[in-house]
């Protein structure tokens, strides 16, 4: 699931004369108004322009939404999956100063609004309610800065730890401390202590800018109390909460020297994360190579992204007109393709579709791409982000189950986006 959170315009932004250029509307859409365009008129061309800047998400939160709402709509399902034995990951993505850390950690004076705290509290509470399993929890907290892994729970340790993978532990960091914990408060305490050692700098965009990716992992070991036939079932799952470094382009922070190297490493690892997510999400490339090894971040998160894992991405954006380009960059990258077929590339592999999926195609879910004239169908029984474009025969008998042979196996059709 991909969500977006628009933070309030800050006092500093208002003082600079910046204005609010985003609105969150019904249907989880975010409209971005180009501050250089005069949008006063309501003629068709202007309206079209306006619509071109609407971005669709699975969940969209305006400045009035609290972290609890973000938690309930985006994070809870990840926590539930972890309790059921799946790996889960929540990412906070966005430009510097957009609100990633605020969403993940909250402000010191507003402890009760932390999303991470809610996540670990619910995880612990669900474990306590479960009579069938005994639970043990461990926590580790690392940062990845300039492709080097530092243990935030043991800051004096070796400066660059290795990411390893084995059958017993999955992907993990060799030598990183994993502390046994018994309550959500303990996890938060460790995290607050570790956060002090995180690499932050003042950039042009944020006074306390995180220049590293911070990865908090809670390991959940569950052992069944009364196993059938004397044997006990065991489950091992991991919940990863990731506060990514700012995604802005290097020039924006006016960085040179060390800052420029940082910026390049941040962008490289974010790109490799995007490449992995795209490869995993692209159902037309089942079994395709996923480039986990391209960065430390993706190597570490390999078992939280692949297989039977559940992930949520929260994109933080500033509504400020002077951050418009960065905001658009985030919105464009994370926009869910199903919303507006007119402005997005769409792709299908129909030979993977089952008869019941084809049968679910209905005329109501059809949309026509104005530039190519192609008709797309959104099939809500399958992956939320996959558009199916039936071949010519299938179009004529959309309500039935068209013969598979009549459909070309792969078709890629691109609209304007």
Q: Which residues bind ligand ATP (CB under 6 A)?
A: 7-8, 10, 94, 96-102, 107, 206, 208-210, 246, 316
Closest CA to 284 of 347, 334, 221: 347
Distance CA 131, CA 397 (A): 52
Cβ at position 67, least distance to ligand ATP in Å: 8
Cβ at position 258, least distance to ligand ATP in Å: 16
Cβ at position 93, least distance to ligand ATP in Å: 9
Angle, helix 115-129 to helix 76-83, in steps of 10 degrees = 30
Provide the CB-side half-sphere exposure for 246 (13 A, CA): 34
Cβ at position 239, least distance to ligand ATP in Å: 20
Q: Which is nearer to ligand ATP, 102 or 172 (CB)?
A: 102
CA-based max dimension of the chain: 74
Closest CA to 257 of 146, 161, 160: 146
Q: Which is nearer to ligand ATP, 202 or 281 (CB)?
A: 202
175 marked as part of a ligand binding site: no
Return the H-helix or E-strand segment holding 362: none
Contact 98, 317 (CB under 8 A): yes
Contact 187, 195 (CB under 8 A): no
Angle, helix 115-129 to helix 184-195, in steps of 10 degrees = 150
Cβ at position 318, least distance to ligand ATP in Å: 8
Cβ at position 209, least distance to ligand ATP in Å: 3
Q: Which is nearer to ligand ATP, 248 or 369 (CB)?
A: 248
66 marked as part of a ligand binding site: no
Closest CA to 93 of 333, 255, 278, 321: 333
- Token pair, residue 206, equals 């944020």
Cβ at position 197, least distance to ligand ATP in Å: 15
Length of the chain: 417
Q: Which is nearer to ligand ATP, 7 or 302 (CB)?
A: 7
Q: Which is nearer to ligand ATP, 59 or 222 (CB)?
A: 59
Q: Which is nearer to ligand ATP, 154 or 210 (CB)?
A: 210
- Token pair, residue 256, equals 């040179």
Q: Which is nearer to ligand ATP, 298 or 320 (CB)?
A: 320
Contact 1, 312 (CB under 8 A): yes
Q: Which is nearer to ligand ATP, 233 or 249 (CB)?
A: 249
Strands (E), 53-132: 54-56, 59-61, 88-94
Distance CA 242, CA 172 (A): 15
Distance CA 330, CA 95 (A): 7
25 marked as part of a ligand binding site: no
Distance CA 314, CA 180 (A): 28
Cβ at position 10, least distance to ligand ATP in Å: 6
Distance CA 258, CA 375 (A): 50
Cβ at position 211, least distance to ligand ATP in Å: 8
Distance CA 18, CA 253 (A): 18
Q: Which is nearer to ligand ATP, 10 or 275 (CB)?
A: 10
First and final C-alpha spacing in the chain: 21
**Cα angle value 125/129/133 (rounded, 5°):** 110
100 marked as part of a ligand binding site: yes
Annotated binding site for ATP: 94-101
Residues annotated within the binding site are 94-101
């Amino acid at each position: 699931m991909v969500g977006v959170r628009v933070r309030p315009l800050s006092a500093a932004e208002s003082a600079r004369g910046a204005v609010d250029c985003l609105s969150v509307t019904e249907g989880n859409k975010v409209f971005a108004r180009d501050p250089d365009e005069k949008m006063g008129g309501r003629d068709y061309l202007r309206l079209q322009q306006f619509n071109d800047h609407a971005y669709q998400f699975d969940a969209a939160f305006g400045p009035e939404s609290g972290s609890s709402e973000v938690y309930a709509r985006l994070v809870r399902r990840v926590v539930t999956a972890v309790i059921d034995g799946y790996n889960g990951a929540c990412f906070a993505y966005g430009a510097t100063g957009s609100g990633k850390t605020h969403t993940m950690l909250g402000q010191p004076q507003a402890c009760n609004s932390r999303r991470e705290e809610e996540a670990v509290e619910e995880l612990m509470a669900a474990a306590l309610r479960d009579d069938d399993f005994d639970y043990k929890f461990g926590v580790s907290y690392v940062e990845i800065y300039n492709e080097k892994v530092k243990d935030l729970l043991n800051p004096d340790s070796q400066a660059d730890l290795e990411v390893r993978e084995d059958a017993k532990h999955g992907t993990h960091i060799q030598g990183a401390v994993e502390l046994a914990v018994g309550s959500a408060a303990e996890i938060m305490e460790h995290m607050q202590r570790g956060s002090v050692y995180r690499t932050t700098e003042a950039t042009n965009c944020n006074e306390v800018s995180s220049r590293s990716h911070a990865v908090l992992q809670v390991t959940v070991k569950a052992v069944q109390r009364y196993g059938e036939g004397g044997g006990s079932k065991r489950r091992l799952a991991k919940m990863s909460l990731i506060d990514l470094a700012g995604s802005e382009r290097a020039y924006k922070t006016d960085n040179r020297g060390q800052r420029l190297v940082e910026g390049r490493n941040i962008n490289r690892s974010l790109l490799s994360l995007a490449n992995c997510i795209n490869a995993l999400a692209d159902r037309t490339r089942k079994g395709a190579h996923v480039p986990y090894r391209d960065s430390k971040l993706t190597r570490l998160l390999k078992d939280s992204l692949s297989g039977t894992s559940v992930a949520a991405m929260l994109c933080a954006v500033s509504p400020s007109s002077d951050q418009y380009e960065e905001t658009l960059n985030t919105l464009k990258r994370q926009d869910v393709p199903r919303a507006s077929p007119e402005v997005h590339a769409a792709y299908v592999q129909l030979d993977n579709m089952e008869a019941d999926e084809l049968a679910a195609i209905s005329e109501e879910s059809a949309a026509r791409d104005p530039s190519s004239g192609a008709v797309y169908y959104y099939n809500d029984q399958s992956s939320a982000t996959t558009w199916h474009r039936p071949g010519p025969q299938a179009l004529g008998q959309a309500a039935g189950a068209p013969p598979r042979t009549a459909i070309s196996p792969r078709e890629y059709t691109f609209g304007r986006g």
